[in-house]
């Protein structure tokens, strides 16, 4: 049986004391241990941002890529080796800003990845600019008079795009978050895990106190049915005195993209023998042109 310790890394995190990323890091380790997925059996693909350094701080196959592009990289990794578990971890600027199109495309394709978005509603590593999920009117170095853009609605967008697993966790609720990540790992197909995460340096209005007073768990809510897509879509807009966390939508699993690719019928691509063309294959190819 694996434990969190099996995922201990050598590097010490460079995050600020109190950063929500510590909770996310622990929850990821707990979920992997609980699901019995060893460090060499999963690839964590990240973007660029404070939180995207996560694989450096644990023991796991990691690919720390470009800002906004980890979902595309993860898609390629899954298509080339669908025997390998793949998880994406990146921030809200990465996932919902620069990478917005990859997010929606991965959801509609049903690529079998867990897409965990560290949603602190601000840019951290570049020092406090407003992000795609920042509230309208936010004053930051790039919006000194207040931002004009309205925030994106990632959960509603994921549901609209066709995702069959759409969830939100909170880095201050470690066990709950680990449970959600575990459920996402079990889900065949694209699974969004949006994580509310305080940024104690650049977004103090949304610190632990703010979330602790407001979050509630959907599974404790009498009558909430996560298989009801319309209800989930409406719930995705609830934001105010009460902020829901948990699994918003869990639909009937659909066939994953990878299992429908004609060229992958024989099994993971990288496990197929890579050999020269056989004489009859060469003849067939030449015959196409005669």
When the beta carbons of 85 and 121 are compared against another protein, the nearer one is 85
DSSP per-residue string spanning 104-172: HHHHHHT-S-EEEEEE-SB-TTTTS-B-TTSPTT--BTTBTT---SPPP-HHHHHHHHT-SEEEEEETT
Query: Can you tell me the distance from the alpha carbon of 240 to that of 38, in angstroms, rounded to the nearest whole number?
Result: 39
- DSSP structure class, residue 241: S
Q: What angle do CA 218, 198, 133 make, to 5 degrees?
A: 75
Q: How far apart are CA 190 and CA 114, in angstroms?
A: 6
Find, among 117, 107, 114, 116, the residue nearest to 163 by Cα: 107
Contact between 281 and another protein by CB under 8 A: the answer reads yes
Task: Answer yes or no whether residue 266 interacts with another protein by CB under 8 A.
Answer: yes
Residue 235 C-beta: closest distance to another protein, Å: 28
Residue 168 as a binder of another protein (CB under 8 A): the answer is no
Site for another protein in 31-60 (CB under 8 A): 38-41, 43, 45, 48, 53, 55-56, 59-60
Q: Is 81 in the site for another protein (CB under 8 A)?
A: yes
The single residue among 1, 5, 10, 240 that binds another protein, judged by CB under 8 A, is: 10
Question: In the bound complex, what is the minimum distance in angstroms from residue 13's beta carbon to another protein?
Answer: 11
Q: Which of 22, 34, 63, 201 binds another protein (CB under 8 A)?
A: 63
Please identify, using beta-carbon distances, which residue of 223 and 278 lies nearer to another protein.
278
Residues 6+ apart with CB under 8 A from 175: 30
Mode of pairing for the β-strands spanning 114-119 and 215-217: unpaired
The least distance separating another protein from the CB of residue 120, rounded to whole angstroms, comes to: 20
By beta-carbon proximity to another protein, the closer residue of 111 and 152 is 111
Among left, alpha and beta (phi > 0; psi -120 to 50; other), residue 244 is: beta
Could you give the CA distance from residue 66 to residue 52 in angstroms, rounded to a whole number?
10
Closest CA to 23 of 198, 183, 184: 198
Q: Does 102 bind another protein (CB under 8 A)?
A: yes
CB of 238 to another protein, least distance (A): 30
H helical segments located in the chain: 20-34, 70-80, 92-93, 100-109, 154-161, 174-186, 208-214, 229-235, 279-287
205 binds another protein (CB under 8 A): no
Asked if residue 1 binds another protein (CB under 8 A), the reply is no
Single residue of 79, 174, 231, 243 touching another protein by CB under 8 A: 79
Beta carbon of residue 137, minimum distance to another protein (angstroms, whole number)? 31
Residues that bind another protein (rule: CB under 8 A) add up to a total of 55
CB of 29 or CB of 102, closer to another protein: 102
Binding site for another protein (CB under 8 A): 10-11, 38-41, 43, 45, 48, 53, 55-56, 59-66, 69, 72-81, 83-84, 101-102, 105, 261-266, 269-270, 272, 274-277, 281-282, 285-286, 289-290
């Amino acid at each position: 049986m694996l434990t969190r310790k099996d995922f201990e890394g050598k590097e010490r995190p460079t995050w600020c004391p109190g950063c929500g990323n510590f909770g996310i890091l622990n929850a990821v380790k707990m979920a992997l241990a609980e699901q019995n997925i060893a460090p060499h059996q999963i690839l964590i693909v990240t973007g660029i941002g404070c939180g995207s350094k996560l694989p450096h701080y644990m023991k796991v196959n990691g690919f720390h890529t470009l800002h906004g592009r980890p979902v595309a990289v993860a898609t390629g990794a899954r298509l080339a080796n669908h025997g390998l578990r793949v998880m994406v971890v990146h921030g809200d600027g990465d996932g919902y800003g620069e990478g917005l199109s990859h997010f929606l495309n991965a959801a509609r394709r049903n690529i079998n990845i867990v897409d965990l978005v560290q949603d602190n509603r601000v840019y951290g590593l570049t020092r406090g600019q407003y992000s795609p999920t920042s509230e309208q009117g936010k004053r930051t170095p790039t919006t000194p008079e207040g931002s004009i853009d309205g925030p994106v609605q990632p959960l509603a967008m994921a549901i609209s795009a066709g995702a069959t697993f759409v969830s939100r966790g909170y880095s201050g609720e470690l066990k709950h978050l680990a449970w959600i990540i575990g459920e996402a790992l079990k889900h065949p197909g694209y699974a969004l895990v949006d994580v509310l995460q305080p940024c104690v340096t650049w977004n103090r209005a949304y610190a632990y106190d703010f979330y602790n007073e407001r979050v509630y768990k959907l599974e404790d809510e009498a009558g909430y049915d996560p298989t009801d897509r319309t209800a989930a879509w409406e719930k995705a807009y609830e934001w105010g005195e009460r902020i829901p966390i948990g699994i918003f939508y869990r639909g009937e699993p659909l066939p994953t993209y990878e299992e429908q690719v004609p060229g992958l019928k024989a099994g993971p691509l990288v496990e197929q023998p890579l050999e020269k063309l056989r004489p009859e294959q060469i003849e067939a190819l030449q015959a196409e042109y005669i």
